[in-house]
Copies of this chain bind each other. A is one copy, B any other.
């Protein structure tokens, strides 16, 4: 990591900025953020939670850090601290101070291609070798990075960031304050074919993708356009790298989709659903609000709201864990049953 940012702030001032509770000397000057292990003199470090306090307190004693962000209820620390109910909130505010987002120093880069029929807000940035096609609208403060692509008639919301190599294909809509990571694809064709005379005939995919506000989408994610309708990603949903989302999928608000998940066509995720890593869903299923599917689970049918499920086929997580534990006893069980059979045969004969 290169901390070549030269901002400095006193712990006291940072307490004001972050709404943290100051414990100890507020006059120490802070020049950056780092882990307790890596911190240089003058840097702020971070204690997330109550696990393993003893080890952390030991680590802190040998750290060069000048101050620490810590939970409200953490014990006394050897360094001045800012206390938070949720210390990650404090960390975020501190990082936002030390690592302010840099805006490009151009509006439309001379090596960008922007159609004369596109509409780019003067406060937006379009990077080198980016393409903005006819009919596209780029909102205020949006940043279309180098080599990104915005297709015909797309709309990109205010303050939204498209990293290098992102493709937003024709007619798709991305809301405000979204972040789409490098090489993600929004609006590829859904996988729709019908058999006709021994061949797979393509069903034209004429829907689009609608991404609402405050959505984050990981690198190399692919989201297919709907066949006739829109594939929708709801407000505040966060999607990790390499997730595949098929046509017609409807994802609710504030969902969390971890890396390498695959969501089949016409799946509905209600609000606040979490899919852990490498989960798959069968098509045309509905996952109820607030449900969590544990890693590698396969959603094979509708799931009631508030469930915690896993496995393939999907079961209550507690049941799946019991089965997993039981499996280790299976080879032995087979032997036991064979012995019982022999014993009973003996009894029968006796």
The interface of chain A, by Cβ under 8 A from chain B, is 1-4, 33-35, 38, 46, 86, 88-89, 91-92, 95-96, 98-99, 111, 113, 127-129, 131, 133, 146-147, 149, 151, 153, 163-165, 167, 169, 171, 179, 181-183, 185, 188-189, 191, 193-196, 198-204, 206-208, 214, 216, 218-220, 222, 224, 226, 228-230, 236, 238, 240-242, 244, 246, 254, 256, 258-260, 262, 264, 277-278, 280, 282, 295-296, 298, 312-313, 315, 319, 322-331, 333-334, 336-337, 340-341, 343-344, 347-348
Do A228 and B33 form a contact, CB below 8 Å, given A92-B194, A298-B295?
Answer: yes
**Do B238 and A216 touch across chains, with their CB atoms under 8 A apart?**
no
**Do B167 and A164 touch across chains, with their CB atoms under 8 A apart?**
yes
Specify how many copies of this chain sit in the oligomer.
3
**Do B169 and A164 touch across chains, with their CB atoms under 8 A apart?**
yes
**Do A241 and B244 touch across chains, with their CB atoms under 8 A apart?**
yes
**Do B185 and A202 touch across chains, with their CB atoms under 8 A apart?**
no
Taking CB as reference atom, which chain B residue is nearest A152? Answer: B102
**Do A323 and B312 touch across chains, with their CB atoms under 8 A apart?**
no
**Do A191 and B259 touch across chains, with their CB atoms under 8 A apart?**
yes
CA gap between A76 and B326 in the complex, in Å: 54
Contacts of A86 in B (CB 8 A): 194-196
Q: What's the minimum C-beta distance from A130 to chain B, rounded to whole angstroms?
A: 8
**Do B4 and A193 touch across chains, with their CB atoms under 8 A apart?**
no
Contact of A222 among B164, B207, B220, B337 (CB under 8 A): B220
Contacts of A151 in B (CB 8 A): 164
CA gap between A113 and B333 in the complex, in Å: 67
**Do B38 and A89 touch across chains, with their CB atoms under 8 A apart?**
no
CA gap between A151 and B164 in the complex, in Å: 9
**Do A164 and B183 touch across chains, with their CB atoms under 8 A apart?**
no
**Do B331 and A333 touch across chains, with their CB atoms under 8 A apart?**
no
